[in-house]
Structure 1
């Protein structure tokens, strides 16, 4: 894990794990300096390898950042898929687990999350490379988990009353990302709200589902929905 305050220990390099060592170094540097605040040479230095070694895997720093994003999306998608668990035991409970998994990933992997959802990247700052990573199969898989959850939650609605499922999935993703960014990545909002990020997200999503008309009555009466 690469969260703030955790001590990063460099792995000893040997043939075969150079790529992962460089990714670990990049994630550490991202936490300290931001996505574009370091060079490939600095990543090599932190990894304990020669300045030329990274070029065996990455043509430049932007390619390294793109791999941080791509590999992050792979782990992110796996966590979301495991939390959703095909809607077991119920779509609503699985959906709540999905929201918690989203925030847990943002908390556990702040560097990867920051690059995965980097919004200020210009073309000169590696924007094209990161944009390509956000369109990768792993990123699409993560969105598809949310799409599957949206479909399961809206299934009981009459077909004529079902909202566009891609739009619902995007709303869910937007709300989850907003809470993660404000309460975990930035941290400032957490000081002003006497609720955990999980509680903020759960209550917001339940209000949203209630507005769609898909919230079961039992859940509507629960403490999280109040």
Structure 2
């Protein structure tokens, strides 16, 4: 592997990139700072000029991931407007697309055990990306009578959990490869069942 740290002229980002590759290969807690330093082509001591420890490095990976994720979710939401249903469904597809394209970021964000309040910056980044899905859920739930309307945060959390489950079981490492459906089809069907239960789309006849 070519040395990247000083060669690239941005040691901090080289360490983040190295960590993302290691997270993808070994999981968020399966690598050491020494391994990240070696992958970036620098000494372990050089890491501490930029990060206090492994958790600090993972936080930065997650922070960058949430920034990308937030942009993607916002774009997906806007692309579905003015239909609240299309905008909502687009955010689900964006979740799967992000998990596939940025697996290291995804794992740092959702599988590292980090608290969303680990730093103020991370808290704001998480709130932004989650806020897009909640906004989509709130707009769609306006079509539900008030006495049957779930809180938007609950509505969005259900879809978030469904999306995460599809990613974990069927979209990474081919664990559900024997299922004759794509992750997109599985998520779309699951969202459809959920929305039919709320009366937001017509029942199949």
What TM-score do the two structures reach when normalised by structure 2?
A: 0.89
Seen in structure 2, the aligned counterparts of structure 1 residues 178 and 27 have a Cα distance that, compared at 3 Å, is: same
CA contact (8 A) 2:5 2:15 kept: no
**Aligned residue in 2 for 1:5:** none
Check the 8 A contact 2:5/2:11 in 1, yes or no: no
Which of 157, 160, 169 in structure 2 is aligned with 1:182? Answer: 169
Structure 1 residue aligned with 2:182: 196
Shift of 1:158: 2.2
Q: Quote the offset at 1:77 in angstroms.
A: 1.4
Between the aligned partners of 1:93 and 1:167, the Cα distance in structure 2 is: 19
Q: Deviations over 1:138-176 (max 9, x none)?
A: 111111111111111111222222111111011010001
1:214 aligns to 2:174 (yes or no): no
Deviation at 1:86, TM superposition (A): 7.4
State the superposition RMSD in angstroms: 2.4
Q: Does the C-alpha gap of structure 1 residues 152 and 9 become closer, same or farther in structure 2, counting only changes over 3 Å? A: farther
Q: Mind listing any 5+ residue stretches in structure 2 that lack a counterpart?
A: none
Mapping for residues 58-137 of structure 1, pairs under 5 Å: 58-85=51-78, 87-118=80-111, 121=113, 127=114, 132=118, 136-137=123-124
Q: Is the 8 A contact 1:103 1:198 kept in 2?
A: yes
Separation of aligned partners in 1, 2:28 and 2:160? 22
Of residues 8, 12, 27, the one that matches 1:34 is 27
Deviation at 1:31, TM superposition (A): 1.7
Map Cα deviations across residues 20-77 of structure 1 (whole Å, 9 max, x no partner).
1111100111122221121111111111122221112101111111111121111111
User: Unaligned regions of 5+ residues in structure 1, if any?
Assistant: 1-7, 122-126
In structure 1, which of residues 140, 145, 166 is the aligned counterpart of residue 132 of structure 2?
A: 145
Count the aligned residue pairs: 204
Give the alignment's TM-score, normalised by structure 1: 0.81
